[in-house]
Structure 1
């Protein structure tokens, strides 16, 4: 197994944009719950892109508790309440993602849901990281 996460890209497949088809890693597994875009006082950021930024920053804070960094991420699952809102903000979301996580793109899934537990939340993200030992 690799010492740090390795992107799995089957030969002949088109390169994905902004995510990996698969990842392999060996080490300490770090898993978050569903993370939303609220601050330490429990206030949700204003707007979809701002909530994504805060959720990603919250994930970084959780990872740090285990000595993990964004480059250790192997999987993200995004839950959005409005797919059109996500698609309409791709450029801004890409910039926010790179600002917080850099140019590391793990395996990702994006799912539209009817609603999230926090009614005003627009996005919830689960993360899995593997820290090499």
Structure 2
């Protein structure tokens, strides 16, 4: 694999993300994905349901570019309700592992006042590197 998780010596191991990652290959950027379907409709206003759809949308864009979830090297999560994020952590973790797998790249999570789509509760941006020669 051309991805290497970076864990500085002596640092506590993070849970659910990495401190850093080193990769070589073709860069792929996924624009912010929200919890709507392919018709731009929101099937649910539930926070975790929207997380699940946003993650599925990311995987679909990755596939379109020839990448897989394990090629993700960075994710930034923007959400409108920090408490919904915190209280949904178990369900979010289960959805994440079901869709992305046990790959935990560097991530940031940020509460924002609003997202561009009124019904959106989460928007996730992802970057990936498709492995190339070492």
Please tell me the TM-score bracket, short chain as reference: over 0.9
Whether contact under 8 Å (1:68, 1:131) holds in the other structure is yes
CA RMSD across the alignment: 0.7
- Residue 17 of structure 1 corresponds to 15
When residues 87 and 131 of structure 1 are mapped into structure 2, their CA distance, relative to the original with a 3 A threshold, is same
- Residues 103-114 of structure 1 aligned to structure 2 (within 5 Å): 103-114=102-113
Alignment gaps of 5+ in structure 2: none
User: Deviating runs (4+, > 6 A) in structure 1?
Assistant: none
TM norm structure 2: 0.96
- Residues 1-133 of structure 1 aligned to structure 2 (within 5 Å): 3-46=1-44, 47-133=46-132
Cα offset for 1:33?
1.0
Deviations 1:74-116 (A, max 9, x none): 0000000011110000000000000000000000000000000
Q: Distance in 1 between matches of 2:42 and 2:21?
A: 31
TM norm structure 1: 0.96
Q: Distance in 1 between matches of 2:2 and 2:125?
A: 20
- The alignment of Structure 1 onto Structure 2 pairs a total of residues equal to 131
Q: Distance in 2 between matches of 1:76 and 1:110?
A: 9
Alignment gaps of 5+ in structure 1: none
Cα offset for 1:45?
3.4
Cα offset for 1:123?
0.1
Whether contact under 8 Å (1:7, 1:22) holds in the other structure is yes
Q: Distance in 2 between matches of 1:71 and 1:4?
A: 11
